[in-house]
Amino acid sequence: MSDIKVKICGLSTEDTMEAALEAGADMVGLMFYPKSPRHVSLSQACRLADMARGKAEIVAVTVNMDLDGLSRIKELVAPDTIQFHGSEAPESLAAVKVMHGTAIMKAVAVSEAADLEQAQYYAIVADRILFDAKPPAGADLPGGNGVAYDWALLKGLDLGKPYMLSGGLDPSNVAEAIRVSGVSEVDVSSGVERDKGVKDADLIRAFLAAAKGA
């Protein structure tokens, strides 16, 4: 069996969470961002997190959220990891880590090699870096836009921390993305949806099979 680690992000229903867990997802992402079609309420998130606890790593995905909001998520949902997907500074991540003792993942937007440099600053504080595609001009969402970048940019990258490839992945291209980039961790959201924000259990299963088989 492949040692590729897979995160299914933006899960919002019990049936798709069940599909992700049964198909072997290593990490499941719950989106706390009202502008996103994948946004979940705290009560929804608690139910979904309870399904996943002990079976997969629970990731709370946030965008420029204040400390009060982060504290509520930590207290009620008890995620294993908090993902920062906005313009948060490294100091903010450090503060949350000290306050909550939770693992930290930071998304870094990529379109060219120069964009990888800021990952070095975040890697000092974060436990994991998520390399996502830069959103298209005028996009409302910082991620989950189904946009890809040159996966070869990540080839041979050494941050001293684990990192994930995200952006434009789907069941048909994830094996190629893993081959080209050399990564051992991948993340998907829009690539396993039949409509924007609506996950598809069959696509989730297909993605996990393709990634794990790579």
The 10s digit of each residue's pLDDT in 87-102 is 999 999 999 999 999 9
How far is the C-alpha of 194 from the C-alpha of 86, rounded, in Å?
A: 26
pLDDT at 149 over 60: yes
Q: How far is the CA of 124 from the CAs of 107, 114, 127, 129, in angstroms? A: 14, 18, 8, 10
User: What pLDDT score was predicted for residue 146?
Assistant: 61
Q: Catalytic annotation on 46?
A: no
User: What pLDDT score was predicted for residue 138?
Assistant: 64
pLDDT at 145 over 60: no
Q: Which residues contact 138 (CB under 8 A, 6 or more apart)?
A: none
How far is the C-alpha of 133 from the C-alpha of 167, rounded, in Å?
A: 5
Q: Which residue has the tokens 């909550």?
A: 100
Q: Catalytic annotation on 140?
A: no
| Domain residue spans of the chain | 5-212
pLDDT band at 141 (very low <50, low <70, confident <90, very high): low
What are the counts of helices (DSSP H) followed by strands (DSSP E) for the chain? Answer: 7, 10
Collapsed DSSP state (helix, strand, coil) of residue 211: helix
pLDDT band at 134 (very low <50, low <70, confident <90, very high): confident
How far is the C-alpha of 206 from the C-alpha of 2, rounded, in Å?
A: 15
Q: Which residue has the tokens 């992700």?
A: 20
Q: Which residue has the tokens 């204040």?
A: 66
Q: Indicate the DSSP class of residue 173.
A: T
Catalytic residue among 9, 26, 170, 187: 9
Flag whether the pTM goes above 0.85.
Answer: yes
Q: How far is the CA of 133 from the CAs of 31, 74, 101, 115, in angstroms? A: 17, 27, 28, 10
pLDDT in tens, 164-198: 999 999 999 999 999 999 999 999 999 999 999 99
User: What pLDDT score was predicted for residue 209?
Assistant: 98
pLDDT at 142 over 70: no
User: What pLDDT score was predicted for residue 2?
Assistant: 64
User: What pLDDT score was predicted for residue 1?
Assistant: 45
Catalytic residue among 66, 115, 132, 170: 132
Least confident range from 1-15, 69-83, 126-140: namely 126-140
Least confident range from 2-6, 126-130, 141-145, 195-199: namely 141-145
Secondary-structure class of domain 5-212 per CATH:
alpha beta
